[in-house]
A and B are shown apart, each in its own frame.
Chain A
Amino acid sequence: MNLIEKYVAEVGKYLPRRNRADIEAEIRSTLEDMLDERTQAAGADREAAALELLKEYGPPRKVAESYGAVQYLIGPRLFPIFEMVLKIVAAVLLGVGLLGFGFNAVRMDMAGPALVTALGKLIYDSVGGVLMAFGNIVLVFAILERVLPLSDQKDLTDEWDPTDLAKEEDPDQVKTSDLVAEIVFTGIFLALFNLYPQYVGIVLFSDNQWTFVPVLTEAFSRYMPWINLLWVLQVGLDVWLLRKGMWDVTTRLINLALKLGSIAVAYVMLVGPAIVKIDADALAGTTLADLAVKLDPLSQFILVPFLIVMIVVPVVEIVQTAIHLFRRRPSAPVTIK
């Protein structure tokens, strides 16, 4: 491969795939024209001239950027929501971590150096989990960046009209940030319960080390297909809504059905065999073994966020959806001429 071909390929690395071949062909054609002109004189050193030409033409990345080829993993339209979700997840992780730490500090009557050591170990052990959580969030946003239509950016390019501020909000207009947040959090829960169910549990400090005790039982996993179905359908509906931009009767009814389904599944789970329990076998061999029975009620706290996600949020949304369906705006008044 000659120098010009290598240069063109290097520029191509930074170009969007859609226009890459076309732009590459144009750059190649121009460079060869320029080189021909410079080496018309007999005995001209073509390679030296190519080197000089490419130096003048500029760094490949800069040339690609001049074609507007700056590519984002997460672009400016989603970045504020991404930042918000990261802060919420960071706050939740920190809160859960501190709660667990506080509980253990009281239980073990920790003080002084023991307290510092335990805290240090907790931070050290949490790094992997925190990075994993943040990595999943970045992944979900990167996918959304490529799935959501560009029309979402209309507010950046449309003519700015300050009277819009005074207009009453259209109740059927979808709220992008709410839907994106719902997609991201549903994605996190899907990943957590399907790929890392062993990380749903409580941490206990014993023998100078943190022991993580999973609390989900076999019974819980039996409900996963139903939970997955509901959550995947929910994500599908959210993406559809983001693309449409407006709620209508069909999407409201589908949303209503999904929320009712969520409550029904949660009800069946709660009245059926225990879905969370501290397994004495998991603590066997540790000084916590004898605590299994005493700690079991604690595991029930895990159910709180589950109940919020599966029952409280759906109930609130069902009420909101019902209000929207029954209070649909009257059609535009007919003008009598």
Chain B
Amino acid sequence: MENNELIQNMVLELRRGIISIAVLNLLNREEYGYSLLKALSDQGLEVDQSTLYPLLRRLESQGLLQSDWRIVDEARPRRYYVISPQGREVLAQLKQEWAVISETMQKMLL
């Protein structure tokens, strides 16, 4: 396996872990799928739609998100997602965990 491919796979693994935190955090404000994709991209986190939508379904089935289908401004029906009360609790814990991991890695890699 080429180095480039190895690195790509490892970066994918790294990102997979943090996407859940990023999504939960962004969904403090209501978003539909495509607007969330763009919001993630605007923040510098490019996520593939084939990763995002299954993740949204999983987070919802775990009770961390809520969603409903709505028509806003006479546009087409869209599914709007927002973080649930349980999701807020989990996100708070995850943020703390992330701070510890980030600090540890910063020290280790210096």
Contacts from A to B (Cβ < 8 Å):
19, 23, 25-27, 29-30, 32-34, 57-58, 62-63, 66-68
Contacts and interface: CB of A to CB of B under 8 A. Distances in A.
B104 interface: no
B78 interface: yes
A62 B54 CA distance: 12
Interface in B59-110: 69, 76-79
Contacts of B34: 29-30, 33-34
16 contacts: A23-B57, A25-B69, A25-B77, A25-B79, A26-B33, A29-B33, A29-B79, A33-B32, A33-B76, A57-B50, A63-B50, A66-B50, A66-B53, A66-B54, A67-B53, A67-B54
Contacts of A32: 76
Q: How large is the interface on B (under 10, 10 to 19, 20 to 34, 35 or more residues)?
A: 10 to 19
A29 B77 contact: yes
Contacts of B78: 29, 33
A89 to B, nearest CB: 39
Contacts of B53: 23, 26-27, 30, 66-67
Contacts of A68: 54
B51 A66 contact: yes
B70 to A, nearest CB: 11
A195 to B, nearest CB: 43
Contacts of B77: 25, 29
Contacts of A67: 53-54, 57
Kindly name the residue among B32, B49, B51 whose own CB sees the greatest number of chain A CB atoms within 10 A. Answer: B49
Given A26-B53, A67-B57, 5 more contacts: A23-B53, A26-B33, A30-B33, A33-B32, A58-B50
Contacts of B49: 30, 57
A29 B76 CA distance: 7
A158 B79 CA distance: 33
Contacts of A58: 50
Nearest to B78: A29
Contacts of A19: 57
A58 B54 CA distance: 15
